[in-house]
Amino acid sequence: MERERERLEGELLAAIAAAPDLRALEEIRVRALGRKGEVTALAKEVGRLPPEKRREAGQAVNALKRTVEEAIARRRRELERIELERRLARERIDVSLPPRPRPEGRVHPVSQVTEEIVAIFADMGFAVAEGPDVEDDYHNFTALNIPPEHPARQMQDTFFLEAEEEGAPLLLRTHTSPVQIRTMLAGRPPFRIIAPGRVYRRDYDMTHTPMFHQVEGLLIDRRTHMGHLKGCLIDFVRAFFERDDIPVRFRPSFFPFTEPSAEMDIGCRRGEGQLVVGAGDDWLEILGCGMVHPRVLEGVGLEPDVWQGFAFGLGIDRL
């Protein structure tokens, strides 16, 4: 049996060393150590030996089994290393090659204009304030002195939702003015904010979309007057259009939440399918503005005899 063990050990070690790949090595493992393998069969022969020889023979077979297992493990590691080197050589990447071209993104015009507007008013000391797109009736209408019979409260002008809050339906905000109300209710004056964001109205034709973008401004302190409002907006349009000679006019108007109210126009020239801002024989309306209505101030707990200020709103898409 000893001679058979030595013969089997030599054959198996030679076969393991010569295994060309992992599949061949696995076949050798099964042939040697499987349920019907040669080493397994040799171990079964130990039980047929006389009792006085079984111990020595058993130890020799176990040593053979360990030797074969260790040899297989070493060869497996070696074959895995060889396979990895081949794969690395096969899949080598030339890092000196130029990258594949990728399409470059661009800032959306609305986002770009919004950032420019925010930057200009930030230089004037205005901070950005935000509010929810889904509003309640109070913040969107009542707190802004919009009466119950106002057309904006009707179904044909506002997106009302099925959800309700305190018995009143929620809605998609029709302007960013509710942000002004929330800011005044949440803090103490003075206030100097702008509120850019999306707004929604049931209006869809060649010049209107159901969702568009606005930015509204609010300034509340003890001394602000209409002259400050006009100066602030004139400085804004000159900075935005990068022209110091833009003609500006303020026309009397009406908004429920400001008194007095005005609309601001800038001079322009139209022709040959173009609109050129600056000197010209035409006017372009760009925003509405006015002094905050005393009822709005009272609604947020401010005394109109002590605090006053102005508000304005403009369409980002229009600019």
pLDDT tens track for 263-285: 999 988 888 878 888 877 889 89
CA gap 187, 184 in Å, rounded: 5
Q: Taking Cα atoms as reference points, which of 7, 4, 24 lies closest to residue 16?
A: 24
Same domain, yes or no, for 138 and 32? no
Select the more confidently predicted residue: 221 or 155: 221
Is the same domain home to 22 and 127? no
Reading phi first (left if > 0) and then psi (alpha if -120 to 50, else beta), residue 160 is in beta
Lookup result for tokens 């899949």: 91
Residue 145 lies in a domain: yes
- Shared domain for 289 and 178, answered yes or no, is yes
Contacts of 185 (CB under 8 A, 6+ apart): 300, 301
In this structure, is residue 99 part of a structural domain? no
| 103 domain-assigned | no
pLDDT at 155 exceeding the cut of 80 = no
- Do 126 and 14 lie in a common domain? no
Residues 121, 265 within the same domain: yes
190 within domain boundaries: yes
- Whether the CA torsion 122, 126, 132, 137 is positive or negative: it is negative
Same domain, 281 and 143: yes
Q: Across the chain, what does the average pLDDT equal?
A: 87
Q: Is 86 part of any domain?
A: yes
Is 305 found in the same domain as 256? yes
Q: Is the predicted pLDDT of residue 89 greater than 70, yes or no? A: yes
Look at the chain and report how many structural domains it folds into.
Answer: 2
Q: Are residues 53 and 144 in the same domain?
A: no
As a whole number, mean pLDDT of residues 287-301 equals 94
User: Which residues in 118-150 are b (16+ Cβ under 10 Å) and which e?
Assistant: bebbeeeebeebebeeebbbebbbbbbbbeeee
CA atoms within 13 A of residue 164's CA, in its CB half-sphere: 4
Please say if the pLDDT value at position 152 is more than 80.
Answer: no
Kindly state whether residues 309 and 218 are assigned to the same domain. yes
Domain harbouring 137, CATH code: 3.30.930.10
Does 149 fall in a domain? yes
**How far apart, in whole angstroms, are the C-alpha atoms of residue 224 and residue 34?**
95
Residue 188 has pLDDT above 90, yes or no: yes
- Residue 139 structural domain: 116-315
Q: How far apart are CA 171 and CA 136, in angstroms?
A: 6
Q: Is residue 156 part of a domain?
A: yes
Within a domain: 300: yes
Q: Is the pLDDT of residue 227 over 90?
A: yes
